[in-house]
Amino acid sequence: MDTSSCFCVVAAVLSIFTVLWTLRDRCGSGYWMAACGALSGALSWALGSGLYLNVPPALCGTALLTCSFILILVTERRVELLPVERRAVLVTGCDSGFGHMLARRLSEMGLTVFAGVLDVNGAGAQQLRESGSENLQVLQLDVTDSSQIETAHHHISAQVADTGLWGLVNNAGVLRCPMDAELHPLTEFRLCMDVNFLAAVKMSQVFLPLLRRSRGRIVNVSSMAAEVPMSMFAAYGASKAALSIFSKVLRRELSVWGVSVALIQPAGFRTNIFGNSDDIIRYRDETLAAVSPVAREDYGELYISSLPGSLSRMSQQCEEDVSPVVDDMCHALLAAHPKPVYSPGRMARLLPLLQRCCPTAVFDAILTLVPRHTDLEPAGLSRS
């Protein structure tokens, strides 16, 4: 096969990939897989016809690449948004971070926003109230408190009446202190599961009747850690992995009702989920008190005490601009053709792809290149 023919084949492969990726984003993985065989057959026919008709391979390849480029431009630029009139959205975890910015953004766009906060008297809640938006309501909403969820449901039901609730954004989440799984108190695993997973399940169950009424949308905020086995993130990653599979199952089940479910899986972004200096001191004291005597001796008190302090370094390594996450949330809520999964942030698509495609030993070697959050090693490793 000469150079021109190779160029044509490569261009054809890139063209198919572009078309399939566009279908995947718009229709989900099921339709994407179904289209794969049909388009592959069409390509074989087109290439065969081109050869029989003596079409120059260079011209064929150039035409395919040009069509691919145009498709990318059209797909990226044309974002058809739904009208915002008479649409109401409930967002949890609006005290700070993604939820806080999303509540502001949606209210500025003209949607009715119910901003759930952990502390209705806190600084974040006060800032939302001072924004001056008449269509933004701040609600006391601890997502682990069933009574507060029911109170919020009664309030919102009275507000939206027969229109229903258009969107539910399960954004509230906790990270606590990343550390070796053996050192993590079981209470930390339970807290992560309660807030990051079970609360989203409860919220979805309670508000789904209102969402079905409007044929609305659920947006669940997971994490890249749900797919990538990052060291120190056993509790957080496990809870987010549970949320991810729950969201994908829910998407399939609710499609017959016309309710869409989107999953946001961001990489690292700098938010208040990393806590403050008081939180770091508390995490250190709680961990030292809960760890077993054997683990304390093997890991060393110096190493264990250093882990909560790594939160500050981790925060500095994350992206400061959280707008890519909020942009994807808005797209999931208002785009005419929302995606099933969004992956904002550096490495958010690449690392999960490598994890799925690479042999385990190769991927483990790749993860060693990720910057460590502490320079210390367990005392037992230093002695061995």
Annotated catalytic sites, by residue? 236
Classify residue 77 by burial, with Cβ atoms within 10 Å: 0-12, 13-18, 19+.
Answer: exposed
DSSP string, 118-163: S-TTSHHHHHHHTT--TTEEEEE--TT-HHHHHHHHHHHHHHHGGG
Q: Which helix (H) or strand (E) element contains residue 305? A: helix 301-306
Q: Strand 136-140's sheet: what is its strand order?
A: 136-140, 112-117, 88-91, 167-170, 217-221, 260-264, 341-342
- The answer to whether the beta carbons of residues 214 and 315 sit under 8 Å apart is no
**137 phi and psi angles, rounded to 5 deg:** -115, 130
Q: How far apart are CA 121 and CA 318, in angstroms?
A: 29
3-state class (DSSP) for residue 359 = coil
